[in-house]
Amino acid sequence: MNTLAIIVPCYNEQDVLKMFYGEITKVVSSIADNYSTELVFVDDGSTDRTLEILKELALRDPIVKYISFSRNFGKEAAMLAGMNYAVNADYIAIMDADLQHSPDLIPVMLKSVSEEGYDVAAARRSNRDGENKFKSFLSASFYKVINKISETKISDSAQDFRVMKNTVVKAILSLPEKIRFSKGIFSWVGFNVKWIDHTNRERAAGQTKWSLTKLMKYAIDGILGFTSLPLRLSFAFSALFAFCSLFGVIYALVRNIINHDYICSMPLTLAAIFFVGAGICLSIGILGEYTSRAYTEVKGRPQYIISQTNTRNLFTITEGAE
């Protein structure tokens, strides 16, 4: 029998967890003849009753595993913890807890990876209906920029919702970076991917955990993690400034020859100084962003800390009952 682990990151999902469990267990039963399944819930430092509910579910049903973080480390860390735990399963699925990702798609994805020769079956958003227009615009612009400047192509519509063979998960885990941008990593590792069109359903309950600032930070992580082109902007600026100053000198010389009383006007000088200053600051800022990321990587802190779990996880601080 094949083994399947379904990883579910959860952050303050008390309103939806039982509903999710109800739906996913129907799917698990429907594939029980071929797959022995574990549900791996990663509680990302929730401050509501999420962990309590997970513990209740785990007592009732042995397929429920929970890994609970000591604080909120973010969805990336939650997916990583789930993959670290589940890496030895034959197939590993990742899906959100809020039922926006249809559980019904899991058997379809499993068929693609187990029978059709694909390594990954991933959901692709067929439209952005029902999504905040401003967020959609920002998101579309982000993907346009990153795909222009990065060698790793990242699809605008690709979702984290996917089923992967364990070879793929091992490849993903072999990337040691601490600041993780999974959409880029999924694409970077390659493999044979089957895209399955999927329309996000409305969130079944609760609220989105992604504020605009969280999304912006994620976008910056994505760009800085997958291209060093911004670092080279300083070269472009230096060329531009050199050209401007050369032009300025020639202009002043020529004017001086024509009109001996010519004195360069103050505002123009000030503008030039500010212009150069802005360019230098921008370059230093970009350099700083990369350096701070390098510093984070060098520090080598763990991406998450587990405080409670009912799994035998290597990084466990306190083990729950199993």
What the block records as the tokens of 172 is 């993903």
One of 38, 76, 98, 160 touching Mg ion (CB under 5 A): 98
The helix/strand/coil state of 219 is: helix
Q: Which secondary-structure segment (H or E) carries 94?
A: strand 91-94
| Shortest CB 10 distance to ligand UDP, Å | 5
Between residue 170 and residue 209, which ones bind Mg ion under the rule CB under 5 A? none
Between residue 137 and residue 176, which ones bind ligand UDP under the rule CB under 6 A? none
| Shortest CB 220 distance to Mg ion, Å | 21
Q: Can you list the positions of beta strands (E) in 233-300?
A: none
Residue 65 to residue 59: CA distance in whole angstroms: 10
Q: Is 99 in the site for ligand UDP (CB under 6 A)?
A: no
Number of shown-chain residues binding ligand UDP (CB under 6 A): 16
Q: Is 13 in the site for ligand UDP (CB under 6 A)?
A: yes
Enumerate long-range contacts of 248-256, CB under 8 Å, 24 or more apart: 248/272
> Of 89 and 93, which has the nearer Cβ to Mg ion?
93
| Shortest CB 157 distance to ligand UDP, Å | 13
Residue 207 to residue 218: CA distance in whole angstroms: 19
Phi, psi of 96 (to 5 degrees): -75, 160
Q: Is 100 in the site for ligand UDP (CB under 6 A)?
A: yes
Between residue 200 and residue 219, which ones bind ligand UDP under the rule CB under 6 A? 208-210
Q: Can you list the positions of beta strands (E) in the chain?
A: 2-10, 35-43, 64-69, 91-94, 120-125, 158-165, 193-198, 306-309, 316-319
| Shortest CB 4 distance to Mg ion, Å | 22
Span interacting with Mg ion, options 95-103, 106-114, 228-236, 293-301, rule CB under 5 A: 95-103
What the block records as the tokens of 74 is 């973010």
> Of 79 and 189, which has the nearer Cβ to Mg ion?
79
| Shortest CB 100 distance to ligand UDP, Å | 5
| Shortest CB 105 distance to Mg ion, Å | 15
Contact 5, 117 (CB under 8 A): no
What the block records as the tokens of 261 is 């009383």
> Of 41 and 118, which has the nearer Cβ to ligand UDP?
41
Contact of residue 72 among ligand UDP, Mg ion, none (CB under 5-8 Å per partner type): ligand UDP
Using H for helix, E for strand and C for coil, what is the string for 142-199? HHHHHHHHCCCCCCCCEEEEEEEEHHHHHHHHCCCCCCCCHHHHHHHHCCCEEEEEEC
Between residue 65 and residue 94, which ones bind ligand UDP under the rule CB under 6 A? 72, 74-75, 78
What the block records as the tokens of 24 is 């996913």
One of 21, 86, 96, 164 touching ligand UDP (CB under 6 A): 96
**Apex 193 CA angle, 188 and 197, nearest 5:** 115
| Shortest CB 101 distance to Mg ion, Å | 8
Q: Which secondary-structure segment (H or E) carries 41?
A: strand 35-43
Between residue 27 and residue 56, which ones bind ligand UDP under the rule CB under 6 A? 44
| Shortest CB 280 distance to ligand UDP, Å | 36
The footprint of ligand UDP (CB under 6 A) covers 9-11, 13, 44, 72, 74-75, 78, 96-98, 100, 208-210
The footprint of Mg ion (CB under 5 A) covers 96, 98, 100
